[in-house]
Amino acid sequence: MIRKILYNNVQIQTATILLLACFLVGCNTSAPSVPAVIEGDSMAPTVCGACLAATCDECGHDFKTEFIARPDFGLTCPNCGYDELKAGDMKLVESPEVSLEPFSRFPRRWDIVGFNLPAESEKETGVKRVVGLPGETIEFRDGDLYAQGKILRKPWELQKEVRVPVFDSQCNAIAPFDNPSRFRFADQDSGWEVRGKEIRFAAVSDSPDWLDYVHWRNCKRVGNRNEEFSIEDSYGFNQTLVRELNSTDDLMLQLDVDFEVDSQMRFLFRREKSEFCFTISRTETEISVACRKDGLRKPLVMVSKLETDLPAATIEFSSFDRSIQLRLNGTNVFELREDESAEVVSSESLFQAESPSVFRIGGEAGVFRINRLQIWRDLYYLESPAGFEAPQNLKLTAGDGEYILLGDNSPKSLDSRTWENPGIPRSDLIGKLNSDPPAE
């Protein structure tokens, strides 16, 4: 449930479509595609109208933000929190031209569609994402979506499409703070070394040596930006919108690692009373996975399909939508839906040194280097956009032949949460969005 909103006199609008053809195709599969131009921010940053392309002067992070006409308006870097950027110094990106393809099938969940807006809207057409199918009831819980009481889980590629950047070690701002301000060593005599963009480990003992990420508040707030905060649902795109934020541990991480000698590293993720610890070695064909829940633990061993020797690895981890996924070099090696966890037994040795961090990276043997660490968070679906009173226990029900549509930019989007009738009839759907420019 969204708490009281601080609303900063910001116009919230739906993303609209300016059709460049003289007719609408509806669901007629024989009709040609319709060229269109996107206006508005409700689907940002997936697809949006005119916006600003910014680069942080301190950490070098590139990001997009809403169009702001005031050249002296101060922007905040969503990576490091540097707040002395000016809107007038940024490059204007024009509204993209896209196309709406006629449906060759019924719309599916997660499709981005163009449609005729309800009569109470100021615009005639809009673009949103399908989240609810005909006859379904959609609910909101802790930023996630549920249909018929079951959580909606996004496919891997969609997770990567909608993820919101949190931190990139290639844009690790140090000055004017003491190195390594974005990281904390669990042990005083640590084998970890952080120098700007470089993160290196060389074992100094036989026990796990943990490195914690320290998150900075990366939006406009009173206080020092290098103070430690939990990861929240802020959007670097929404620079003018002031609202109360929500903590989230729906994260995606990518670590690009070089194992210099026979090495072993660990990755630990903690959510509520559950912990998951992955052990990855250069020369082992097995990946050890241990999980703990409510003080009990069960070791799981997953056999990797990768080659025996692992000189380099791209490690991808996701905790989106109440599931845990681990991928090595593009191969899915572990997946567990948290509501399907089994009975657990004791395995004390894998879990040491309590820490408030949501995730930790551990070195245990050998030498390895993390060339890049990237962190994203999942979309956090609000029960109402900023400036609107959030209904208690909001439920959106689609009638027969209707669809529930939401924008990816949940704090700004006017969608099924605000329309008198939340369901959009199939006859009002114009087509599926194709972000590639239409052929001339």
Q: Does residue 96 have a cis bond before it (omega within 30 degrees)?
A: no
Considering the chain, what is the average pLDDT of its residues? 83
pLDDT value, residue 90 = 97
* pLDDT confidence of residue 304: 62
- 268 vs 270: CA distance, rounded Å: 7
Residue 244: exposure state from Cβ atoms within 10 A (0-12, 13-18, ≥19): exposed
pLDDT for 227: 81
Q: How many CB atoms lie within 10 A of CB 157?
A: 8
Whether 79 contacts 63, CB under 8 Å: yes
Q: What is the pLDDT of residues 78-114, one digit of tens each?
A: 998 889 999 999 999 998 888 999 998 899 999 999 9
* The pLDDT of residue 89: 96
pLDDT reading at 405 higher than 50 = yes
pLDDT in tens, 222-276: 777 778 888 999 999 999 998 999 999 999 999 999 998 788 999 999 887 788 8
pLDDT at 76 over 70: yes
Mean pLDDT of 304-309: 62
* pLDDT band of 219, cuts 50, 70, 90: confident
Residue 425: predicted pLDDT: 97
Q: What is the largest CA-CA distance in the chain?
A: 72
At 34 the pLDDT is 84
Question: 209 Cβ partners below 8 Å, 6+ apart?
Answer: 186, 187, 190, 191, 192, 201, 203, 362, 363, 364
pLDDT at 300: 61
In the block, tokens 């024009």 appear at 94
| Band (132; pLDDT cuts 50, 70, 90) | very high
pLDDT in tens, 6-64: 323 333 455 776 655 433 434 444 567 888 888 889 999 889 999 999 999 988 999 99
Segment of 161-170, 201-210, 356-365 carrying the highest mean pLDDT: 161-170
DSSP 174-232: -TTS-TTTTEEESSSS-SEEEETTEEEEE-SSSS-EEEEE--B--SS-SS-TTSB---B
d(CA 16, CA 49): 9
Query: Of the candidates 180, 216, 213, 217, which has an alpha carbon nearest to the alpha carbon of residue 197?
Result: 180
Contacts of 300 (CB under 8 A, 6+ apart): 288, 289, 290, 291
Which tokens in the block code for residue 22? Answer: 């003289």
pLDDT digits (tens, 9 = 90+) for 156-191: 999 999 999 999 999 976 555 444 578 888 888 899
What is the distance between the alpha carbons of residues 341 and 229, in angstroms, rounded to a whole number? 30
Radius of gyration, CA atoms only, the chain:
23
Phi then psi for residue 132, to 5 deg, are: -120, 135
**Which pLDDT score is estimated for 439?**
40
The H-or-E segment that residue 160 falls in is: helix 156-162
- Distance, in Å, from the CA atom of 433 to the CA atom of 16, rounded to the nearest integer, reads 12
Residues 130, 1, 357, 345, CA torsion sign: negative
**CB neighbourhood size of 194 (10 A):** 21
So what's the pLDDT on residue 37?
86
Distance, CA of 231 to CA of 78 (rounded, Å): 12
Task: Reduce the secondary structure of 17-50 to three states and give it as a string.
Answer: EEECCCCCCCCCCCCCCEEEEEECCCCCCCCCCC
Contact 427, 97 (CB under 8 A): no
**pLDDT category of residue 435 using cuts at 50, 70 and 90:** low
CA 110, distance to chain mean position in Å, is: 15
At 348 the pLDDT is 39
